[in-house]
Structure 1
């Protein structure tokens, strides 16, 4: 996440880093001790993926992924055009995650409006292109802009409104959770799918594109059950 502080522990405990054998890096959300929610484009066929767990001394441990379920409606061509697609996937972990991770809840299926506030928590770069700042959970408070719908949300920093560089998703934040506040605390409303620089330029610090869970929540719940996992109560 660019231009953002370290995430508070109560949110950081929900996220994990995902690395691929082709040099990719993404963020996932722990939705059960053995299940992680992320973006489908983060876990494409033809590569191997692992989770990265950091201990108190920031030493990494690689965790094996047993299986991957991608939403069958995902289309990479649509994503590359910043258009709505089912950019949702679940990773079944070979062994339960360490106790430091806590399962996040799925938000109820609701619609968003312009100006609604969301908190994005990602493990990506703090400065685009620096190659060194990934692996730390950072949080950004962003607001919905444009025409929010059930298939795509566009978020921006309310102080810069996407016109100049501000807070937002960056490299490594794909798949990151987008939290909304509910009466029971933060819950996952969607996952990060893409980002832009200011004024829709390439890069980070402009728009953060989100795939809401509203249309895919049932798939997530049903797929988790098929994989033998019970999700946290809403």
Structure 2
């Protein structure tokens, strides 16, 4: 188990998860560190309490959103068949504990080939824990609308690594407030650092941030509007720091709610 945790915290996947090694993922950033989600300021506690680290037996790591004490939302590409997954809890001294997962549910409409082909797909999944997550984890509410327009702010909170070359900064919740760009819709949402515009290195999701929640304001409270699925480098190059691709939840909210009910889990209102 310790080997599993060590592998995960050394950040072995990039968005989409599990498709690149650390060296390959960080290669585009051999120069000055970029200000990505993993190198952004620590997330506000009110948001950080909603995210949990997910590690896989094949060395993957992703971010998940706590929807209930025993239910975590993440990206479907983060939980591949044939692998085992654990949730990671840290105590006040940053000592980790691995928590067992009883069941993994991927949306039946998820298509990995579509994701790799840069096409929208149902990139959402649920992990059902065998026991409740400890404090300070708190369930996050699901959004109910899809009214996102160009320029609207969306905050991504991830547990990925900082782009500093050593890959040892995973597991710290960090946040970046990005802006919707392109043609926001119910199939795919593209986010960009408004200060960089996608033309130069900016903030965005990177290694270990797959499955991270995208929060937006809904009637004065932060709700989960989507999960992180992919990223690009500046000017649509490979890597991170350009666009952050999010799978909106509006099409899949009913599946999430129904799956939770079948598992006997009550979601946050």
Q: What band does the TM-score fall into relative to the shorter chain?
A: over 0.9
- What is the number of equivalent residue pairs in this alignment? 233
TM-score w.r.t. structure 1 length?
0.97
User: Considering only aligned residues, what root-mean-square deviation do their CA atoms show, in Å?
Assistant: 1.0
Native 8 Å contact 2:39 2:161 kept in 1: no
Aligned with 2:73 (options 37, 50, 59): 37
Native 8 Å contact 2:110 2:122 kept in 1: yes
Native 8 Å contact 2:39 2:174 kept in 1: no
How many Å separate the matches in 2 of 1:13 and 1:6? Answer: 12
Native 8 Å contact 1:110 1:214 kept in 2: yes
Gaps of 5+ in 1: none
Structure 1 residue 176 and structure 2 residue 212: aligned? Answer: yes
**Number of the residue aligned with 1:212:** 248
**Number of the residue aligned with 1:232:** 268
Structure 1 residue 81 and structure 2 residue 117: aligned? Answer: yes
Looking at secondary structure, tell me which structure has more helix per residue. Answer: 2
Secondary structure of 1:50's counterpart equals strand
How many Å separate the matches in 1 of 2:166 and 2:245? Answer: 22
Deviations 1:182-229 (A, max 9, x none): 224100000000111111111111100000001111110001101110
**Number of the residue aligned with 1:122:** 158
More displaced, 22-31 or 123-132? Answer: 123-132
Deviations 1:104-146 (A, max 9, x none): 0001132321111100000001117532111100000000111
Secondary structure of 1:224's counterpart equals helix
How many Å separate the matches in 1 of 2:93 and 2:172? Answer: 13
- Aligned 1:58-137 pairs, distance under 5 A: 58-127=94-163, 130-137=166-173
Q: Which runs of 4+ in 1 moved over 3 A?
A: none
Structure 1 residue 188 and structure 2 residue 224: aligned? Answer: yes
Change (3 A) 1:212 1:129: farther
Gaps of 5+ in 2: 1-36
